[in-house]
Protein backbone atom coordinates (compact mmCIF):
# COMPACT_ATOMS: atom_id res chain seq x y z
CA UNK A 1 0.00 0.00 0.00
CA UNK A 2 1.19 3.52 -0.76
CA UNK A 3 2.38 5.34 2.36
CA UNK A 4 3.37 8.96 2.72
CA UNK A 5 5.34 10.64 5.48
CA UNK A 6 3.76 13.94 6.38
CA UNK A 7 5.37 16.44 8.71
CA UNK A 8 2.92 18.41 10.80
CA UNK A 9 3.45 21.87 12.24
CA UNK A 10 0.42 23.01 14.21
CA UNK A 11 1.89 26.29 15.48
CA UNK A 12 0.05 28.85 17.58
CA UNK A 13 -3.44 30.25 18.16
CA UNK A 14 -5.99 28.40 16.05
CA UNK A 15 -3.19 26.37 14.38
CA UNK A 16 -3.73 23.16 16.40
CA UNK A 17 -7.53 23.07 15.96
CA UNK A 18 -7.49 23.58 12.18
CA UNK A 19 -4.68 21.10 11.58
CA UNK A 20 -6.47 18.46 13.66
CA UNK A 21 -9.51 18.75 11.39
CA UNK A 22 -7.37 18.52 8.25
CA UNK A 23 -5.71 15.33 9.57
CA UNK A 24 -9.12 13.86 10.31
CA UNK A 25 -10.23 14.53 6.73
CA UNK A 26 -6.94 13.25 5.26
CA UNK A 27 -7.36 9.98 7.15
CA UNK A 28 -10.89 9.61 5.82
CA UNK A 29 -9.87 9.97 2.16
CA UNK A 30 -6.76 7.82 2.62
CA UNK A 31 -8.94 4.97 3.85
CA UNK A 32 -11.32 5.44 0.95
CA UNK A 33 -8.53 5.57 -1.66
CA UNK A 34 -6.33 2.81 -0.20
CA UNK A 35 -3.23 4.61 0.95
CA UNK A 36 -1.83 5.45 4.37
CA UNK A 37 -0.34 8.55 5.91
CA UNK A 38 2.21 8.69 8.73
CA UNK A 39 2.47 11.94 10.64
CA UNK A 40 5.29 13.44 12.66
CA UNK A 41 4.84 16.65 14.57
CA UNK A 42 7.37 19.50 14.74
CA UNK A 43 7.51 22.84 16.52
CA UNK A 44 7.65 26.29 14.97
CA UNK A 45 6.65 29.83 15.97
CA UNK A 46 5.63 30.95 19.45
CA UNK A 47 5.26 27.45 20.84
CA UNK A 48 8.79 26.66 19.65
CA UNK A 49 10.09 29.82 21.36
CA UNK A 50 8.38 28.82 24.62
CA UNK A 51 9.59 25.22 24.43
CA UNK A 52 13.08 25.50 22.89
CA UNK A 53 14.00 29.20 22.96
CA UNK A 54 14.04 29.65 19.18
CA UNK A 55 11.19 30.04 16.63
CA UNK A 56 12.64 27.47 14.21
CA UNK A 57 14.43 24.52 15.86
CA UNK A 58 16.95 22.56 13.70
CA UNK A 59 14.93 19.42 14.31
CA UNK A 60 11.98 20.99 12.46
CA UNK A 61 14.14 21.88 9.46
CA UNK A 62 15.59 18.34 9.31
CA UNK A 63 12.27 16.61 9.87
CA UNK A 64 10.36 18.54 7.22
CA UNK A 65 13.16 18.15 4.65
CA UNK A 66 12.98 14.40 5.20
CA UNK A 67 9.20 14.20 4.82
CA UNK A 68 7.14 13.95 1.63
CA UNK A 69 5.28 17.16 2.43
CA UNK A 70 4.43 19.43 5.33
CA UNK A 71 1.02 20.45 6.57
CA UNK A 72 1.23 23.66 8.54
CA UNK A 73 -1.34 25.62 10.56
CA UNK A 74 -0.34 29.15 11.60
CA UNK A 75 2.08 30.93 13.90
CA UNK A 76 2.35 34.11 15.92
CA UNK A 77 0.53 36.02 18.65
CA UNK A 78 0.72 39.12 20.78
CA UNK A 79 2.70 37.30 23.43
CA UNK A 80 5.76 37.16 21.15
CA UNK A 81 5.32 40.50 19.32
CA UNK A 82 7.76 42.41 21.53
CA UNK A 83 10.68 40.00 21.11
CA UNK A 84 13.68 41.15 19.07
CA UNK A 85 13.04 40.62 15.34
CA UNK A 86 15.34 37.58 15.00
CA UNK A 87 13.42 35.74 17.70
CA UNK A 88 9.91 36.49 16.46
CA UNK A 89 7.64 33.72 15.15
CA UNK A 90 7.39 35.45 11.73
CA UNK A 91 11.18 35.38 11.38
CA UNK A 92 11.02 31.64 12.04
CA UNK A 93 8.46 31.24 9.26
CA UNK A 94 10.52 33.22 6.75
CA UNK A 95 13.67 31.23 7.61
CA UNK A 96 11.65 28.06 7.28
CA UNK A 97 10.43 28.99 3.78
CA UNK A 98 13.97 29.90 2.77
CA UNK A 99 15.52 26.69 4.14
CA UNK A 100 12.84 24.59 2.46
CA UNK A 101 13.55 26.38 -0.84
CA UNK A 102 9.85 26.91 -1.47
CA UNK A 103 10.08 29.71 -3.99
CA UNK A 104 6.60 29.35 -5.48
CA UNK A 105 3.58 30.15 -3.37
CA UNK A 106 0.33 29.18 -5.06
CA UNK A 107 -2.75 30.89 -3.69
CA UNK A 108 -5.96 29.96 -5.49
CA UNK A 109 -9.01 32.19 -5.00
CA UNK A 110 -12.09 30.35 -6.17
CA UNK A 111 -15.62 31.62 -5.65
CA UNK A 112 -18.01 28.81 -4.78
CA UNK A 113 -21.51 29.26 -6.18
CA UNK A 114 -22.87 28.37 -2.74
CA UNK A 115 -21.10 31.33 -1.14
CA UNK A 116 -21.53 33.95 -3.80
CA UNK A 117 -23.34 36.14 -1.25
CA UNK A 118 -20.51 35.96 1.26
CA UNK A 119 -18.30 38.45 -0.56
CA UNK A 120 -18.67 42.18 -0.02
CA UNK A 121 -18.57 42.47 -3.82
CA UNK A 122 -21.68 42.05 -5.96
CA UNK A 123 -22.52 38.45 -6.95
CA UNK A 124 -22.40 39.23 -10.68
CA UNK A 125 -18.88 40.65 -10.31
CA UNK A 126 -17.48 37.55 -8.63
CA UNK A 127 -19.54 34.52 -9.59
CA UNK A 128 -17.42 31.98 -11.44
CA UNK A 129 -14.20 33.72 -10.45
CA UNK A 130 -11.16 31.40 -10.38
CA UNK A 131 -7.79 33.08 -9.90
CA UNK A 132 -4.41 31.57 -9.10
CA UNK A 133 -1.96 33.98 -7.49
CA UNK A 134 1.62 32.76 -7.95
CA UNK A 135 3.73 34.64 -5.43
CA UNK A 136 7.53 34.48 -5.36
CA UNK A 137 8.22 33.50 -1.75
CA UNK A 138 11.91 33.45 -0.88
CA UNK A 139 13.28 36.57 -2.54
CA UNK A 140 12.47 40.23 -3.08
CA UNK A 141 12.27 42.80 -0.32
CA UNK A 142 11.51 40.19 2.36
CA UNK A 143 15.03 38.79 2.06
CA UNK A 144 17.11 41.45 0.27
CA UNK A 145 20.37 42.65 1.83
CA UNK A 146 21.34 45.13 3.15
CA UNK A 147 18.57 45.86 5.61
CA UNK A 148 18.79 48.00 8.69
CA UNK A 149 17.01 50.16 11.22
CA UNK A 150 19.30 52.36 13.32
CA UNK A 151 16.47 54.25 14.99
CA UNK A 152 16.85 57.25 12.68
CA UNK A 153 17.13 55.74 9.25
CA UNK A 154 15.76 52.37 8.14
CA UNK A 155 15.92 50.59 4.82
CA UNK A 156 15.27 47.31 3.03
CA UNK A 157 16.44 46.14 -0.35
CA UNK A 158 14.20 44.84 -3.11
CA UNK A 159 16.29 42.54 -5.23
CA UNK A 160 15.63 39.85 -7.84
CA UNK A 161 18.05 38.05 -10.10
CA UNK A 162 17.16 36.82 -13.55
CA UNK A 163 17.28 33.11 -12.56
CA UNK A 164 14.88 33.80 -9.67
CA UNK A 165 12.44 35.51 -12.03
CA UNK A 166 12.71 32.76 -14.65
CA UNK A 167 12.07 30.04 -12.06
CA UNK A 168 8.84 31.62 -10.74
CA UNK A 169 7.81 32.61 -14.26
CA UNK A 170 8.06 28.99 -15.40
CA UNK A 171 5.81 27.89 -12.54
CA UNK A 172 3.20 30.45 -13.62
CA UNK A 173 3.33 29.58 -17.32
CA UNK A 174 3.16 25.83 -16.63
CA UNK A 175 0.15 26.33 -14.36
CA UNK A 176 -1.58 28.55 -16.91
CA UNK A 177 -1.20 25.77 -19.49
CA UNK A 178 -3.45 23.59 -17.33
CA UNK A 179 -5.96 26.44 -16.87
CA UNK A 180 -7.21 29.26 -19.12
CA UNK A 181 -3.73 29.91 -20.58
CA UNK A 182 -3.41 33.51 -19.44
CA UNK A 183 -0.69 34.95 -17.23
CA UNK A 184 -0.78 38.48 -15.87
CA UNK A 185 2.59 39.57 -14.48
CA UNK A 186 2.32 42.28 -11.84
CA UNK A 187 5.14 44.74 -11.14
CA UNK A 188 5.96 48.42 -10.67
CA UNK A 189 8.17 48.78 -13.76
CA UNK A 190 7.29 52.47 -14.17
CA UNK A 191 9.25 53.20 -10.98
CA UNK A 192 11.48 50.29 -9.93
CA UNK A 193 14.56 48.87 -11.71
CA UNK A 194 13.91 45.50 -10.14
CA UNK A 195 10.47 45.50 -11.75
CA UNK A 196 11.92 46.42 -15.15
CA UNK A 197 14.14 43.35 -15.01
CA UNK A 198 11.12 41.34 -13.89
CA UNK A 199 9.07 42.54 -16.86
CA UNK A 200 11.86 42.08 -19.45
CA UNK A 201 12.53 38.57 -18.15
CA UNK A 202 8.84 37.58 -18.26
CA UNK A 203 8.67 38.83 -21.86
CA UNK A 204 11.73 36.79 -22.80
CA UNK A 205 10.39 33.69 -21.07
CA UNK A 206 7.00 33.99 -22.72
CA UNK A 207 8.66 33.10 -26.07
CA UNK A 208 8.94 29.53 -24.72
CA UNK A 209 5.18 29.51 -24.08
CA UNK A 210 3.57 30.72 -27.32
CA UNK A 211 0.30 29.04 -26.31
CA UNK A 212 0.00 31.19 -23.16
CA UNK A 213 -1.01 34.84 -23.33
CA UNK A 214 1.17 37.13 -21.21
CA UNK A 215 0.03 40.56 -20.04
CA UNK A 216 1.58 43.03 -17.61
CA UNK A 217 0.00 45.24 -15.00
CA UNK A 218 1.31 47.75 -12.48
CA UNK A 219 0.60 46.65 -8.93
CA UNK A 220 -1.56 49.66 -8.05
CA UNK A 221 -3.76 49.03 -11.06
CA UNK A 222 -3.85 45.29 -10.29
CA UNK A 223 -5.17 46.00 -6.79
CA UNK A 224 -7.91 48.11 -8.34
CA UNK A 225 -8.73 45.62 -11.10
CA UNK A 226 -9.03 42.79 -8.57
CA UNK A 227 -11.99 44.46 -6.93
CA UNK A 228 -13.35 46.08 -10.11
CA UNK A 229 -13.44 42.98 -12.29
CA UNK A 230 -11.67 39.95 -10.77
CA UNK A 231 -12.89 37.61 -13.49
CA UNK A 232 -10.45 39.15 -15.99
CA UNK A 233 -7.63 37.24 -14.24
CA UNK A 234 -6.49 33.66 -14.63
CA UNK A 235 -2.90 33.30 -13.30
CA UNK A 236 -1.28 36.31 -11.61
CA UNK A 237 2.49 36.07 -11.14
CA UNK A 238 4.29 38.56 -8.96
CA UNK A 239 7.07 39.17 -6.44
CA UNK A 240 7.02 38.49 -2.73
CA UNK A 241 5.52 41.67 -1.24
CA UNK A 242 3.12 42.44 -4.09
CA UNK A 243 1.91 38.83 -3.91
CA UNK A 244 1.41 39.09 -0.15
CA UNK A 245 -0.84 42.12 -0.58
CA UNK A 246 -2.71 41.00 -3.70
CA UNK A 247 -3.50 37.56 -2.29
CA UNK A 248 -5.21 39.11 0.73
CA UNK A 249 -7.24 41.26 -1.68
CA UNK A 250 -8.10 38.19 -3.73
CA UNK A 251 -9.27 36.44 -0.57
CA UNK A 252 -11.93 39.09 -0.02
CA UNK A 253 -13.22 38.52 -3.55
CA UNK A 254 -14.01 35.02 -2.27
CA UNK A 255 -15.61 36.21 0.95
CA UNK A 256 -13.91 34.67 3.93
CA UNK A 257 -10.19 34.41 4.47
CA UNK A 258 -11.09 31.18 6.28
CA UNK A 259 -11.57 29.50 2.90
CA UNK A 260 -8.24 30.09 1.20
CA UNK A 261 -5.55 27.41 1.04
CA UNK A 262 -2.03 27.68 -0.28
CA UNK A 263 0.84 25.55 -1.48
CA UNK A 264 4.48 26.57 -1.21
CA UNK A 265 6.54 24.51 -3.57
CA UNK A 266 10.13 24.26 -4.70
CA UNK A 267 12.73 21.66 -5.64
CA UNK A 268 13.13 20.04 -2.20
CA UNK A 269 9.77 19.78 -0.47
CA UNK A 270 6.40 21.51 -0.23
CA UNK A 271 4.50 23.22 2.55
CA UNK A 272 0.72 23.42 2.61
CA UNK A 273 -0.96 26.03 4.77
CA UNK A 274 -4.03 28.26 4.96
CA UNK A 275 -3.35 31.86 3.97
CA UNK A 276 -4.88 33.20 7.17
CA UNK A 277 -2.98 33.74 10.39
CA UNK A 278 -3.13 32.26 13.89
CA UNK A 279 -6.10 34.42 15.07
CA UNK A 280 -5.27 34.09 18.79
CA UNK A 281 -8.42 36.05 19.69
CA UNK A 282 -10.66 33.18 18.59
CA UNK A 283 -8.40 30.22 19.49
CA UNK A 284 -10.19 27.57 21.49
CA UNK A 285 -13.64 29.13 21.09
CA UNK A 286 -14.69 26.48 18.58
CA UNK A 287 -15.74 29.04 15.98
CA UNK A 288 -12.77 28.62 13.66
CA UNK A 289 -13.33 27.71 10.02
CA UNK A 290 -11.08 24.71 9.24
CA UNK A 291 -11.86 24.73 5.49
CA UNK A 292 -8.77 26.68 4.35
CA UNK A 293 -6.55 24.10 6.05
CA UNK A 294 -8.59 21.16 4.78
CA UNK A 295 -8.33 22.60 1.25
CA UNK A 296 -4.58 22.97 1.79
CA UNK A 297 -4.47 19.25 2.60
CA UNK A 298 -6.37 18.63 -0.66
CA UNK A 299 -3.73 20.66 -2.53
CA UNK A 300 -1.05 18.51 -0.91
CA UNK A 301 -2.72 15.35 -2.19
CA UNK A 302 -2.94 16.78 -5.68
CA UNK A 303 0.35 18.62 -6.14
CA UNK A 304 2.84 16.55 -4.12
CA UNK A 305 1.38 13.10 -3.50
CA UNK A 306 -0.37 12.72 -6.87
CA UNK A 307 -3.48 11.39 -5.13
CA UNK A 308 -5.80 13.36 -7.37
CA UNK A 309 -8.88 11.31 -6.65
CA UNK A 310 -8.53 11.79 -2.89
CA UNK A 311 -8.03 15.49 -3.44
CA UNK A 312 -11.17 15.74 -5.57
CA UNK A 313 -13.15 13.88 -2.90
CA UNK A 314 -12.23 16.50 -0.30
CA UNK A 315 -13.17 19.38 -2.60
CA UNK A 316 -16.45 17.71 -3.46
CA UNK A 317 -17.29 17.10 0.20
CA UNK A 318 -16.62 20.75 1.06
CA UNK A 319 -18.75 21.99 -1.84
CA UNK A 320 -21.60 19.65 -0.89
CA UNK A 321 -21.46 20.62 2.78
CA UNK A 322 -21.59 24.30 1.82
CA UNK A 323 -24.38 23.67 -0.70
CA UNK A 324 -26.42 21.96 2.02
CA UNK A 325 -26.07 25.03 4.22
CA UNK A 326 -23.44 23.94 6.74
CA UNK A 327 -21.42 26.92 7.86
CA UNK A 328 -18.90 27.95 10.48
CA UNK A 329 -19.53 31.20 12.31
CA UNK A 330 -17.60 33.43 9.88
CA UNK A 331 -20.11 32.49 7.18
CA UNK A 332 -23.20 32.14 9.38
CA UNK A 333 -24.89 35.14 7.78
CA UNK A 334 -24.83 33.60 4.29
CA UNK A 335 -27.61 31.10 3.58
CA UNK A 336 -26.79 28.97 6.63
CA UNK A 337 -28.98 26.02 7.53
CA UNK A 338 -26.85 25.02 10.48
CA UNK A 339 -23.86 26.67 12.11
CA UNK A 340 -21.18 24.19 13.15
CA UNK A 341 -18.15 24.54 15.34
CA UNK A 342 -14.68 23.73 14.03
CA UNK A 343 -14.71 20.03 15.05
CA UNK A 344 -18.28 19.50 13.80
CA UNK A 345 -17.34 21.00 10.41
CA UNK A 346 -14.46 18.52 10.13
CA UNK A 347 -16.83 15.69 11.09
CA UNK A 348 -19.39 16.88 8.55
CA UNK A 349 -16.85 16.87 5.71
CA UNK A 350 -15.78 13.34 6.72
CA UNK A 351 -19.44 12.29 6.73
CA UNK A 352 -19.81 13.42 3.10
CA UNK A 353 -16.57 11.69 2.09
CA UNK A 354 -17.74 8.42 3.63
CA UNK A 355 -21.05 8.67 1.79
CA UNK A 356 -19.58 8.86 -1.72
CA UNK A 357 -19.51 5.70 -3.77
CA UNK A 358 -17.00 5.06 -6.52
Instruction: Spell out the long-range contacts of 292-295 with Cβ–Cβ below 8 A and sequence spacing 24 or more.
Output: 292/18, 292/257, 292/258, 292/259, 292/260, 292/261, 293/18, 293/19, 293/21, 293/22, 293/71, 293/73, 293/261, 294/21, 294/22, 294/25, 294/318, 294/346, 294/349, 295/259, 295/260, 295/261
34, 50, 208, 220: which one is catalytic? 220
The distance of closest approach from Cβ of residue 3 to ligand IPM in the complex, given in angstroms and rounded to an integer, is 30
Cis peptide bond N-terminal to 146, omega within 30: yes
| Count of CB atoms situated within 10 Å of the CB of 356 | 13
355 burial type by CB count under 10 A (0-12 exposed, 13-18 middle, 19+ buried) = exposed
**Comparing C-alpha atoms, which of 178, 158, 300 is closest to residue 238?**
158
90 in a known ligand binding site: yes
Give the x/- contact pattern for Mn ion in 195-234, rule: CB under 5 A: ----------------------------------------
What is the rounded CA–CA span in Å between residue 86 and residue 124? 46
Give the x/- contact pattern for ligand IPM in 111-130, rule: CB under 6 A: --------------------
89 in a known ligand binding site: yes
What is the rounded CA–CA span in Å between residue 25 and residue 116? 25
The distance of closest approach from Cβ of residue 13 to Mn ion in the complex, given in angstroms and rounded to an integer, is 15
Give the x/- contact pattern for ligand IPM in 93-112, rule: CB under 6 A: xx------------------
What is the rounded CA–CA span in Å between residue 272 and residue 69? 8
The distance of closest approach from Cβ of residue 264 to Mn ion in the complex, given in angstroms and rounded to an integer, is 12
The distance of closest approach from Cβ of residue 131 to ligand IPM in the complex, given in angstroms and rounded to an integer, is 16
Q: Which does 90 bind (CB under 5 to 8 A by kind): ligand IPM, Mn ion, none?
A: ligand IPM
Stretch that binds ligand IPM, among 12-20, 88-96, 183-191, 341-349 (CB under 6 A): 88-96
Footprint of ligand IPM on 268-307 (CB under 6 A):
275
Is 220 among the residues known to form the active site? Answer: yes
44 burial type by CB count under 10 A (0-12 exposed, 13-18 middle, 19+ buried) = buried
Is 188 among the residues known to form the active site? Answer: yes
CB 209 within 8 A of CB 177: yes
82 in a known ligand binding site: yes
Give the x/- contact pattern for ligand IPM in 231-270, rule: CB under 6 A: -------------x--------------------------
**Comparing C-alpha atoms, which of 297, 323, 325, 324 is closest to residue 312?**
297
Q: Cβ neighbours of residue 138 under 8 Å, at least 6 residues apart?
A: 97, 98, 101, 102, 103, 240, 266
Is 142 among the residues known to form the active site? Answer: yes
Is 207 among the residues known to form the active site? Answer: no
The reply on whether position 136 binds Mn ion by CB under 5 A is: no
10, 188, 302, 329: which one is catalytic? 188
Q: Which does 48 bind (CB under 5 to 8 A by kind): Mn ion, ligand IPM, none?
A: none
For the annotated binding site, the residues are 77-90, 97, 107, 135, 220, 244, 248
Q: Would you please indicate which residues are annotated as catalytic (active-site) residues?
A: 142, 188, 220, 244, 248
By the criterion CB under 6 A, which residues form the site for ligand IPM? Answer: 90, 93-94, 244, 275
By the criterion CB under 5 A, which residues form the site for Mn ion? Answer: 244
Amino acid sequence: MRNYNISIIKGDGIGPEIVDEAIKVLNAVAKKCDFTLSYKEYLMGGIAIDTTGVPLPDETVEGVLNSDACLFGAIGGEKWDTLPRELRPETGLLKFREKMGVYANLRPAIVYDELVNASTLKPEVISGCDIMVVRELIGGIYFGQPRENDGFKAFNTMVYTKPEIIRIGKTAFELARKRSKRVCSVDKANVLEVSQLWRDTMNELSKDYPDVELSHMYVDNAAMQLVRNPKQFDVIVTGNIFGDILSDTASMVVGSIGLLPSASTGDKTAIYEPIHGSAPDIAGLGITNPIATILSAAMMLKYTLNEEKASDLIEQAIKDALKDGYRTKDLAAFDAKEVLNCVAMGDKIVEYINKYKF
